[in-house]
């Protein structure tokens, strides 16, 4: 059973003194995930280039504690991790390292390093079936370099490369759904989580992802106050709205079986989530109502798809 008062006693593996922006969702996500790791277990962590990587290991400082950390390039976090895992198994087999301790292999990447640049290495590592866990902290743009669009940027969002104005309405394309792509890799465990409530959802899913044998993937919505344009203190509020509007549904897929882990008591209209953010400001101007309607349609379609998949995959034949 999850007990917040107990789990916060575990020492954090991402410690203070990093240079992430004030109010960033990523360190909350990372510590939330790593808290699910048993205290006595080792961890090898590989991070793709991104905000997290450049601001947690700025030479000669590192914020990573009690774990092995590998600084790797944008496209190869999962390739590096799969190599380390294979080497570890070989050394263990040859008796060169003792096997009295459990070592887990965890990769972290932003949406740029996961959905765009790191996709080929991630797909490869997942297909080869290494015993690794990959976690994408999804903030929906290249925030590290100043909010350029990524394939995870939501439809109509204003970024520096898809500015909204007279000519353009923000990003013209829909979001790529990597969680579904990962499900189609036939992984034993795939999940989508967010920073809501007392982080029970994140903890439980991380525990399953880390301790399930084989490749596992998890996507966590990590709000970015700078890129999204909302007051930095609203981290929890905005995550809750994303989940309650079904913009970011929480679900998990164990061996192909879908399970929606959170059903909002009252599904809110999507503008409740959009109106807090500066990147969607242009959608609330007169004459732009069709944009909100379109996003609502996309959200409803995805929500219906998930409910249908849950029903189909859990039917007993």
Partner 1 sequence: MKKEYSLGGTILKDGNSENFKTGDWKNKYPYHDKEKCKNCMMCVPFCPESCIRHEDSKLLGMDLDFCKGCGVCSKVCPFHAIEMKSDINK
User: What is the per-residue binding string for partner 1 in 104-143, x denoting contact by CB under 8 A?
Assistant: ----------------------------------------
> Least Å distance between CB 26 and partner 1?
8
Rounded CA-CA distance 109/93 in Å is: 30
Chosen residue from 4, 102, 308, 312 binding partner 1 by CB under 8 A: 4
Distance CA 139, CA 153 (A): 8
Examine residue 41 and tell whether it contacts partner 1 (CB under 8 A).
no
Residue found by looking up tokens 């994140």 in the block? 202
Is residue 160 at the binding interface for partner 1, with CB under 8 A as the rule?
A: no
The stretch among 23-31, 106-114, 155-163, 262-270 that binds partner 1 (CB under 8 A) is 23-31
Report in angstroms how near the CB of residue 8 gets to partner 1 at its nearest. 5
Which residues, 6 or more positions from 164, have their beta carbon under 8 angstroms from its beta carbon?
Answer: 156, 158, 170, 281, 282
Kindly tell me which of 185 and 200 has the beta carbon lying closer to partner 1. 200
309 Cα distance to chain centroid: 21
Candidates 38, 65, 93, 267; binder of partner 1 (CB under 8 A) is: 65
Using CB under 8 A, which of 123, 174, 236, 307 touches partner 1?
236
CB of 5 to partner 1, least distance (A): 5
Q: What kind and span of H or E run contains 216?
A: strand 216-221
Of 39, 41, 127, 233, which one interacts with partner 1 (CB under 8 A)? 233
Residue closer to partner 1 by CB (options 20, 117) is 20
Q: Which listed residue (76, 210, 235, 283) binds partner 1 by CB under 8 A?
A: 235
Distances in whole angstroms, Cα of residue 38 to Cα of each of 112, 171, 189, 213, 219: 29, 41, 19, 15, 21
| CB-based contact 121:76 (threshold 8 Å) | yes
Contact with partner 1 (CB under 8 A) among 87, 160, 232, 314: 232
Single out the residue of 42, 148, 198, 296 in contact with partner 1 (rule: CB under 8 A): 198
What is the C-alpha to C-alpha distance for residues 27 and 139, in angstroms, rounded to an integer?
12
Backbone angles phi, psi at 86, to 5 degrees: -65, -45
Q: Which residue has the tokens 């990524």?
A: 150
Q: Using the rule CB under 8 A, is 22 a contact of partner 1?
A: yes
| Tokens describing residue 71 | 């600084």
């Amino acid at each position: 059973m999850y007990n917040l008062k107990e789990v916060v006693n575990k020492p954090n593996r991402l410690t203070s003194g990093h240079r992430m922006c004030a109010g960033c969702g990523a360190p909350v996500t990372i510590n939330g995930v790593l808290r699910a790791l048993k205290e006595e277990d080792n961890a090898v962590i590989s991070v793709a280039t991104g905000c997290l990587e450049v601001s947690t290991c700025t030479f000669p400082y590192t914020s990573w504690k009690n774990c092995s950390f590998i600084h790797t390039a944008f496209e190869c976090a999962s390739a590096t991790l799969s190599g380390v895992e294979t080497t570890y198994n070989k050394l263990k087999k040859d008796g060169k390292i003792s096997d009295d301790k459990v070592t887990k292999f965890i990769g972290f990447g932003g949406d740029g390093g996961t959905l765009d640049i790191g996709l080929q290495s991630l797909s490869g590592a997942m297909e080869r079936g290494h015993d690794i866990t990959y976690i994408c902290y999804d903030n929906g743009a290249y925030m590290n370099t100043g909010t350029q669009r990524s394939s995870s940027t939501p439809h109509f969002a204003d970024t520096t490369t898809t500015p909204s104005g007279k000519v353009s309405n923000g990003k013209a394309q829909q979001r790529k759904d990597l969680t579904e792509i990962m499900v189609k890799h036939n992984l034993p465990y795939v999940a989508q989580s967010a920073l809501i409530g007392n982080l029970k959802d994140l903890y439980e899913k991380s525990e399953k992802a880390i301790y399930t044998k084989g490749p596992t993937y998890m996507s966590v919505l990590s709000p970015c106050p700078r890129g999204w344009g909302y007051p930095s203190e609203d981290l929890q509020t905005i995550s809750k709205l994303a989940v309650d509007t079904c913009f970011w549904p929480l679900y998990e897929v164990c061996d192909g079986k879908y399970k929606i882990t959170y059903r909002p008591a009252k599904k809110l209209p999507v503008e409740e989530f959009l109106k807090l953010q500066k990147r969607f400001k242009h959608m609330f101007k007169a004459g732009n109502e069709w944009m909100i309607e379109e996003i609502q349609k996309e959200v409803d379609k995805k929500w219906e798809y998930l409910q249908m998949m849950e029903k189909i995959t859990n039917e007993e034949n």
